[in-house]
Amino acid sequence: MTLLRTNCALAALVMLTACGQTVADPSTQYGETPELPAPKQYIMPPMQVPPGEGWDKGQTPVVPAGLQIRAFATGFEHPRNVYVLPNGDVLVVETNGPKAPIYRPKDYVEGKVKALAGSGAPAGNRILLLRDANGDGVPDLRSVFIDHLNSPFGVALVGADLYVAATDAILKFPYTPGETHISAPAVKLTDLPAGAINHHWTKSLTASPDGSKLYVGVGSNSNITENGIPAETGRAAIWEVDRATGLKRIFASGTRNPTGLAFEPTTSKLWAVVNERDEIGPNLVPDYLTSVKESAFYGWPYSYFGQHVDVRVQPQRADLVAKAIPPDYALSSHVAPLGMVFTQASRLPASYRSGVFVSEHGSWDRSPLNGYKVVYVPFRDGRPNGPPQDVVTGFLSPDGARSQGRPVGIALDRSGALLIADDVGNVVWRVSAVG
């Protein structure tokens, strides 16, 4: 024991790791005022990489009493998003990022780590359509809906116009209800920030309730400006795109990686889930859920949760730090929220019908691991009201040594059940009420 402690002290001295320190529980970082420890600069940041190994036959994630979970469909190539059309057809976006350039030896190592964790798998880069005509929770038709896309992620249907947010542009396709394949060529609505680095490549997408505007989440081009501040032009922002003209403007900024967007149905306000920065501690910086205020600045890269300055960003901008507003609701650190859906339309038990589901992909930038589950955040009067509740867990093996799946995009199907894209298990899960 003494030897262990000595080794730990030595490791802490030499490697400046968090060795031997206890990490405060994620529950200290839920809600409006998360506990924020002092930032640290590591030699080797605390991390834990659970190899992504997929599910054994018959094995599923775990849901609480009153809910049941089944595989809706399997055998995908890296499914990262789901979208439900008005006739009940389910779109599954098979996608992965463009090849990341190696600018530093670290980029090479990170590529290997991501491959181990199951994030580097080849993807279809296409959208599949699944139809469950008899509503038994098993699709009876499966077809390639749109093929040959450039790292697509967000999907939004407005009237007869289907919008797909590829990594470099919003594309518009004509959609006729009932069709199972779109062969018409895409019309580009507008370009999106991409380029050679394209670090956070997913472009989340949603339409305003009146259908006149599209909102698109554009992630930062780095963890914390290590590719230079000029590389961040137009990034770490939520853009508003006029659907009629394709003209766009930055609606809100300083949101490092806004991976999910949705309108809260009772207030018609835009909300987002955002992935915050890494490598300054296991409990920094909490990822968050927030209403998106027009023209607001949420801090990235200069600060977080208001005026907590990040010294890694130089030259500093005191003027922007002063403007930064804190987000509404912290989800705790390194949970990697990648999808959200408000639940008013769900047919799950009543206790799940007035809030938001958030899918937490989980990260390897923290030890112990956090996330790797789908949570429910209850709302009241259009605002979060209470801590997140676990809804779908069991994505990690019981000892945490490997991941069987990782949840990404989520949606409610026509029957009000929850669909979850799982990009490690290559499954789309369906969670419904028992009975």
Are the CB atoms for 245 and 213 separated by under 8 Å?
A: no
| Least separation in angstroms between CB 169 and other proteins | 27
Q: Pick one of 204, 225, 257, 346: the residue that binds other proteins (CB under 8 A).
A: 225
Contacts of 177 (CB under 8 A, 6+ apart): 85, 86, 87
| Least separation in angstroms between CB 105 and other proteins | 5
Are the CB atoms for 338 and 357 separated by under 8 Å?
A: no
Task: Tell me if 41 contacts other proteins by CB under 8 A.
Answer: yes
User: H helices within 16-123, ranges in order?
Assistant: 105-117
Site residues (CB under 8 A) for other proteins, limited to 89-118: 103-106
CB closer to other proteins, 34 vs 39: 39
| Least separation in angstroms between CB 228 and other proteins | 4
Tokens of 340: 């959200």
Task: Tell me if 368 contacts other proteins by CB under 8 A.
Answer: no
CB closer to other proteins, 1 vs 311: 311
Are the CB atoms for 102 and 108 separated by under 8 Å?
A: yes
| Least separation in angstroms between CB 424 and other proteins | 26
CB closer to other proteins, 232 vs 422: 232
Task: Tell me if 290 contacts other proteins by CB under 8 A.
Answer: no
Are the CB atoms for 288 and 280 separated by under 8 Å?
A: no
In the block, residue with structure tokens 């676990």: 390
Site residues (CB under 8 A) for other proteins, limited to 243-282: 279
CB closer to other proteins, 35 vs 226: 226
Task: Tell me if 224 contacts other proteins by CB under 8 A.
Answer: yes
Q: For residue 368, say if its preceding peptide bond is cis, omega within 30 degrees of 0.
A: yes
Distance in angstroms between the alpha carbons of the first and the last residue of the chain: 53
Distance between CA 429 and CA 293 in Å, rounded?
A: 33
Are the CB atoms for 302 and 321 separated by under 8 Å?
A: yes
Only one of the segments 35-43, 55-63, 136-144, 420-428 lies at the binding site for other proteins (rule: CB under 8 A); that segment is 35-43
If binding means CB under 8 A, how many residues of this protein chain bind other proteins? 23
Contacts of 226 (CB under 8 A, 6+ apart): none
Polymer length in residues for the chain: 435
Secondary structure class of 9 (helix, strand, coil):
helix
Task: Tell me if 62 contacts other proteins by CB under 8 A.
Answer: no
Q: What is the DSSP letter of 229?
A: G
Task: Tell me if 174 contacts other proteins by CB under 8 A.
Answer: no
Site string for other proteins, 390-429 (x = CB under 8 A): ----------------------------------------
| Least separation in angstroms between CB 238 and other proteins | 23
Q: Pick one of 47, 127, 313, 348: the residue that binds other proteins (CB under 8 A).
A: 313
Site string for other proteins, 194-223 (x = CB under 8 A): ----------------------------xx
Distance between CA 431 and CA 155 in Å, rounded?
A: 21
Residues engaged in binding other proteins (CB under 8 A): 14-15, 41-44, 103-106, 222-228, 279, 311-315
